Structure 1
Amino acid sequence: MPETRDAAYFNARSEGALPGHLGIRFTSVSPEVMHSELTVAAHHMAPNGFLHAGTLVTLADTSCGYGCVLNLPPEASGFTTIELKSNHLGTATQGVVQCVATLVHAGRTTQVWDAVVKHQQTGKTLALFRCTQMVLYPK
């Protein structure tokens, strides 16, 4: 019987890796939409005292990548991100940052995901993303 790939599965998968170190938590997952969040802390900040862009990129890329996992063809061996575009529209110094990643295209060789990152308390959009993943197959 295949393992259940729910929010708890992806949270456990993140432990010991960058998403776990950053405190990224998945709250809801499906093959079409991934919901994740993190609570802003000192290690998320750039030297200027504002949220580091890399924190938001990691949140979005992880959300899109884990969504890709849910959509891999059975014969695929994995995936890799081949392009990530980000537009940063705002920042935060505290609170919770939430990401909603949405499947745009699920093909045999590529997947495309869009992600929106917002500040939970203000509702302000902090960043918009588009990720393209290449589906990998064994040789």
Structure 2
Amino acid sequence: MMDGNVAASFQERQTGTLPGELGIQWDEVATGRAAGWFTVTQGHMAPNGFLHAASVIALVDSACGYACIASLPDGATGFTTIELKANYLATAKEGETVACTARLVHGGRMTQVWDAEAVNRTTGKTMALFRCTQMVLYPRG
């Protein structure tokens, strides 16, 4: 487990990857929680003119994944996602801000379960509810 808020290190680490390309910003990454956001641009949109669901998944899944890394038990080397689910309730328009918070629901030795909520900061509406299960990885041998 990592001590304190390590958001800046994750911000730097994501450069050149999908979260970085989507402009996701991190306010907090710590043991048991994460919080981040992005401002909707044309690059977040689907061809039908609505926010692409994958943009929201990139935010909430990254929040859960980054917080999972910050919450790994002693001896663990990483994790892999074994299940995820999202319920979409609303959308966002270009120029609006989508934010999320993720929290650890179950922190076991072999699995972690995370919940995240995406909110349109501009309208205050909950946009998506997300849950994922992570399998904790250990060195072989």
**Counterpart for residue 66 of structure 1:** 66
Q: Retained in 2: the 8 A contact 1:5–1:70?
A: no
Tell me if the contact between 2:3 and 2:30 (Cα under 8 Å) persists in the aligned partners: no
Moved over 3 A (4+): 2-5
Tell me the SS of whatever aligns to 1:112: strand
Identity of aligned residues (%): 54
Structure 1 equivalent of residue 139 of structure 2: 138
**Long gaps (5+) in structure 1:** none
Structure 1 residue aligned with 2:29: 29
Q: CA deviation at 1:121?
A: 1.1
Counterpart residue number, 1:119: 120
Amino acid in the other structure paired with 2:15: E
Structure 2 residues not aligned, in runs of 5+: none
Q: Which moved more, 1:68-77 or 1:40-49?
A: 68-77
TM-score (norm 1): 0.94
| AA at the equivalent of 2:138 | Y
Write the letter of the residue equivalent to 2:31: P
Tell me the C-alpha RMSD between the 2 structures: 1.5
The answer to whether structure 1 residue 55 and structure 2 residue 55 are counterparts is yes
Query: Deviations along 1:98-136, whole A, 9 cap, x unmatched?
Result: 000011011110000000000011110110000100001
Structure 1 distance, partners of 2:137, 2:123, is: 39
Tell me which residue corresponds to 2:110.
109
CA distance in structure 1 between the aligned counterparts of 2:63 and 2:44, rounded to whole angstroms: 17
**In the comparison of the two structures, how many residue pairs are matched?**
138
Is 1:96 matched with 2:114? no
Deviates more, 1:108-117 or 1:25-34: 25-34
Pairing 1:46–2:46 present: yes
Distance 2:42 2:103 in 1: 29
Letter in 2 for 1:126: M
